[in-house]
C-alpha cells in the first residue's frame, strides 16, 4: 500500500511542473557533429526509421503549450510549418519551411496507413490548397500549432472541424 501512495504522490508532483507555464525543451537534441543515435541516414534500416518517427512524435508532444507565433520556428512560438520544420530538424531531418513546399516533400500516404511522424495537410481557407500542416502521433491524433489564438496542441483527425479539411498525408522517411 505504501508503494502505491508514493507512486501517486510522485505522479502528482510530476504533473504539477506542466502547469507552471514553462515551455519544455525538446528531446532528444542530437548534436550534428556527434553522430548521435536516432539521426536517420538514407541507409538506415526500417526499424530505426520507425523508432525515429516515435522520437519525432515525442519531440512534438513535448512542445505542447508553446504559443502560436506567425512566422515562428522556435520554442518561443511556432506557426504550423515552423513547428514541423523545428521538430524534424531536432532529429537531423531537413524539411522545407513553408506549408506549400512541405506538401510536396516525401511520399503520399493513404489515410488508412498513417504512422507517427507522418505530415498531415489541410485546406483551411476554402480552397483545395494545403494551408495547414500537422504531425501525426498515431491513431486518429495529431499535434500542431493551430492559429494565432492557439498554442501547440493535440487534436483528432476525425473531428468535425479537421476531417472535412483534410487533404493528404505524406511520409518524409
Catalytic positions, please? 80, 132, 144
**CA torsion angle 104 121 143 96 (round to 10):** 20
The whole-angstrom separation of Cα 67 and Cα 160 is 24
- Rounded Cα gap, residues 19 and 65, in angstroms: 10
Give every CB contact of residue 33 below 8 A, 6+ residues apart in sequence: none
Amino acid at each position: 500500500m505504501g508503494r502505491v501512495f508514493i507512486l501517486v504522490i510522485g505522479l502528482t508532483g510530476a504533473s504539477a511542473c506542466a502547469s507552471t507555464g514553462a515551455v519544455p525543451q525538446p528531446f532528444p537534441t542530437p548534436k550534428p557533429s556527434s553522430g548521435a543515435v536516432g539521426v536517420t541516414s538514407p541507409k538506415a534500416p526500417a526499424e530505426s526509421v520507425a523508432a525515429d518517427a516515435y522520437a519525432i512524435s515525442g519531440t512534438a508532444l513535448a512542445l505542447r503549450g508553446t504559443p502560436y507565433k506567425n512566422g515562428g520556428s522556435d520554442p518561443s512560438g511556432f506557426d504550423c510549418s515552423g513547428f514541423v520544420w523545428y521538430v524534424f530538424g531536432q532529429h537531423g531531418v531537413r524539411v522545407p519551411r513553408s506549408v506549400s513546399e512541405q506538401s510536396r516533400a516525401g511520399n503520399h500516404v493513404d489515410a488508412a496507413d498513417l504512422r507517427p511522424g507522418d505530415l498531415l495537410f489541410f485546406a483551411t481557407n476554402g480552397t483545395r490548397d494545403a494551408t495547414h500542416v500537422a504531425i501525426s502521433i498515431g491513431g486518429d491524433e495529431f499535434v500542431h500549432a493551430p492559429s494565432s489564438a492557439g498554442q501547440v496542441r493535440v487534436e483528432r483527425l476525425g473531428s468535425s472541424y479537421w476531417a472535412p479539411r483534410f487533404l493528404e498525408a505524406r511520409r518524409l522517411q
